[in-house]
Structure 1
Amino acid sequence: MIPNIFSETGRLRTVVLGRAEHMGPIPSIEDSYDAKSRESVELGIYPKEVDLIEEMEGFAKVLKKYDVEVLRPKDIKGLNQVFARDISFAIEDRFITPNIIEDRAEEIAGIKHIQDLINPSHIVQFQKGVYAEGGDCIPWRDHIFVGYSKEEEFKTYTTARTNERAVERLQELFPELQVHGLELVKSDIDPMRGVLHLDCCFQPIGTQEAIIYENGFKHKQDVDYLKDLFGEKNLIKVGQEEFYQMFPNIFSIDTDIIVSNRSFIRLNSELEKRGYKVEQIPYDEVAKMGGLLRCSTMPIYRENQ
C-alpha cells in the first residue's frame, strides 16, 4: 500500500481508527499526560471503557456506511489506544513514524501490522531528537500546517509534543510544499487554556473553509496568516468554551461530509447552513481524554484532493 494524503477533506478510502478495549485502569493524576485527562481524573469523571467502546464503534459504523476501509490497532491489554492520529501519520505518499513521548511509545507496537502493509520505500522514520505527533501536522494541498513548541517550552510542557526540528524536517521531506510552523499556547494543567495539538484549535474543512480558535495560537501573525489564506468569511470561529469541548476536532469523510459530536449544536447547525452533510454521533466520553474525532483517526488514503 502507498499512502495518498494531500488534504484533510478528500474522499476517504482507508483509515486507522483507534480502539478502547482493555485500556487498563483509570490513570493517576501523575500519569495523566494531558490537561483534559488530568481534569477528568480530578473530577472523578474519567470515562468508562464500555462507554468509549460504544462511541468508537458508532464512529466505525458511520465510516463503513461510506465504504471506508477501517483498520484497527492490535489490542494490547492495559494500554490506551484510542488516539491513533498521533503515533504515525501520512502526508502525500509517505508514512511517517515520528519520535513521540515515552508515555505513548508502547502504542506503536499496536499498529505494526498496519505499517507492514505500507511499501517500505514510502516509510519515513524521523531521526533522533525530531519529535512530532500527527495531531500537530495538517496537510492541505500545497501547505503543511505544523503546531509546535520552541525548545524551552518543548522541554517544559508534557503537552508540547512537536518541536521545531520537526518543522524543519518536514520542509526537507516536502521541499515543494509550504510548511508553516504555528506556535501553540501550552498548559499541562488548564484545559481551558492549553492546546494539546494543532487540530484542537484549527482544522480545514470543505474546499476553502476552516474551523479556528484564535486564542490557541501564541502569535497574532499566525492567525492573520490563516485568515488571509482561507478568507475571513470562510472561517468558523469558536470561543473558549467551544474550544474546551473540542469543536475544531471534527473529521471529514469528504469535502461535503463531516462527522461531528452530536452535542456540538451551534457548530453542527453552522456546518449544515454552509452545505455540509453532518453525521452526528455521541463522542463526549472520548472528549474527556483530551481528543475527539480527528484524534481517533489516522487516514492513509484519500481520493479527489
Structure 2
Amino acid sequence: MLELNVNNETSRLRAVVLGSAVNNGPSPTIDEAYDPKSLEHILAGSYPIERDMVDEMEAFNAVLKKYNVTVFRPELIENYNQIFSRDIGFVIDDVFIKANILPDRERELDAIQYVIDTMNPAKVVRPPEEVHIEGGDVMLWNDYIFVGTYKGSDYKDYMTARTNMKGVQFIKDLFPNKIVKEFDLVKSKLEARDNALHLDCCFQPVGINKGIIYKSGFREEADYLYLVNLFGKDNLFHITRDEMYNMNSNVFSIDTNVVVSERNFTRLNNWLRSNDFIVEEIPYAEISKQEGLLRCSTLPLIRD
C-alpha cells in the first residue's frame, strides 16, 4: 500500500505520477482550446507536436530516475492529452483528493486508477460536484495551504477560472488544523500574458524559505503582500510579465536544494544557483505552449 505523505512543495520526493505525451492526439482546433496560450499557438501554427513533447517528458523522467524517485505513468488513452497530471488530483498530508476537472478530462483519472487502487480507500476523497478545485491551484507549505481562486462574479464565464470559493471552503473543512489562505488570481480568456491559470503560474516556493513570484498575477495587492511578509522580500525572485508567460514559476523541486527547471530560464536558473540550488535544466519549451510546465506535469505522492 502506498503511504501517501506530502505537506510541502520541496521536501525530498520519493514517488510521483508523471504525465505522458504519448499518443497525444491531433492538435486541437480553435474551438477546443482551453486557455489563451494554446489558442495563440493554434492560430500561429506553432502548436507543439507529439514527438517533441515526448522527448521533453522523457528528459524529465530521466532526471527523476537519477534521484531514485519512483515514477508512475498514466495508462495510455489513445489520441488524448495526458500531460498535466497535476490537474486531476493532489495529495495533502496522507489524503488523495480527486479533482473535479473539466468533464471531458474525467478519463485522465481512470488512467491512474491502478495507482489509486494501492492507496488506503479511506484516504481517497472526491469533493461534491459544486466544488471546483484543481491541483495547480493548491500549494502546500507545512502549516499553510495556499489556494488560487477567482472571486469575480463572472466566474462561470471563464474556462480559465478553475477553482471556486467552494473549493477553498472544502479544503478548510477537510484540514481544520491548517492555515488555508486563498489568493484571488488575474484571469484572461484572450491574453496569455495576463492569465494566471493556476496559482503555480504566479507563485511557487523553492527550498526551505524562498519562492518565485509574479506580482501582477494577483488581483489584490494584499494577497501579494501576504506572501512577501511570510517569505521576506529578499527571499522572493520576482519574475516579469514575459517570464510569467513562459511559466518561470512552474519549476519542480525534487529536494530542498534540487530544482528541475527549463533550460531557457537563464535569469531564474542563475538566481537559483547563486542561492546554492542544484538546477537540473531540461528542455520543456514545447510543452509550455499549452500553458503548463514542470509542476503541472507532476502529481507528487510521497515526500519525506
TM over 0.5: yes
Short-chain TM bin: over 0.9
Deviation at 1:23, TM superposition (A): 1.2
Q: Deviations over 1:181-214 (max 9, x none)?
A: 1010001221011111000110001001100001
Task: Say if 2:126 is the partner of 1:125.
Answer: yes
Matches of 2:198 and 2:273, distance apart in 1:
26
Matches of 1:273 and 1:103, distance apart in 2:
43
| Matching residue's letter, 2:266 | I
Equivalence for 1:110: 111
Deviates more, 1:150-159 or 1:31-40: 150-159
Task: Say if 2:105 is the partner of 1:89.
Answer: no
Q: 1:170-181 alignment to 2 at 5 Å?
A: 170-181=171-182
Equivalence for 2:162: 161
Deviation at 1:106, TM superposition (A): 2.3
| Matching residue's letter, 2:239 | V
Q: CA RMSD in A?
A: 0.8
Matches of 2:36 and 2:259, distance apart in 1:
27
Task: Say if 2:104 is the partner of 1:99.
Answer: no
Matches of 1:240 and 1:102, distance apart in 2:
31
Q: 1:235-250 alignment to 2 at 5 Å?
A: 235-250=236-251
The 8 Å contact of residues 33 and 188 in structure 1, kept in 2 or not, is answered as no
Equivalence for 1:269: 270
Deviates more, 1:99-108 or 1:60-69: 99-108
Q: TM-score, normalised by structure 1?
A: 0.98
For the residue of structure 2 that corresponds to 1:62, the secondary structure is: helix
Matches of 1:223 and 1:129, distance apart in 2:
28
Structure 2: stretches of 5+ with no match in the other structure: none
Q: Deviations over 1:165-187 (max 9, x none)?
A: 01001001110000001010001
Aligned residues: 303
Matches of 1:189 and 1:16, distance apart in 2:
31
The 8 Å contact of residues 153 and 160 in structure 1, kept in 2 or not, is answered as no
Q: Deviations over 1:119-166 (max 9, x none)?
A: 101111101200110000001100000001126332010011100001
Q: Deviations over 1:58-114 (max 9, x none)?
A: 000000000000000001001100000010110101000121112322211111111
The 8 Å contact of residues 151 and 163 in structure 1, kept in 2 or not, is answered as no
Task: Say if 2:237 is the partner of 1:224.
Answer: no
Equivalence for 2:291: 290
Equivalence for 1:143: 144
Q: TM-score, normalised by structure 2?
A: 0.98
Equivalence for 1:252: 253
Q: 1:7-156 alignment to 2 at 5 Å?
A: 7-150=8-151, 152-156=153-157
Q: Deviations over 1:206-265 (max 9, x none)?
A: 001100001000000000100000001100000101001100000000000000000001
The 8 Å contact of residues 2 and 122 in structure 1, kept in 2 or not, is answered as no
Structure 1: stretches of 5+ with no match in the other structure: none
For the residue of structure 1 that corresponds to 2:226, the secondary structure is: helix
| Matching residue's letter, 1:133 | E
Matches of 1:151 and 1:234, distance apart in 2:
30
Matches of 2:104 and 2:151, distance apart in 1:
21
Matches of 2:296 and 2:148, distance apart in 1:
14
| Matching residue's letter, 2:13 | L
| Matching residue's letter, 2:174 | L
| Matching residue's letter, 1:41 | I
| Matching residue's letter, 1:32 | A
Task: Say if 2:206 is the partner of 1:199.
Answer: no
Q: Deviations over 1:18-69 (max 9, x none)?
A: 0001111010011010111111101110001000000000000000000000
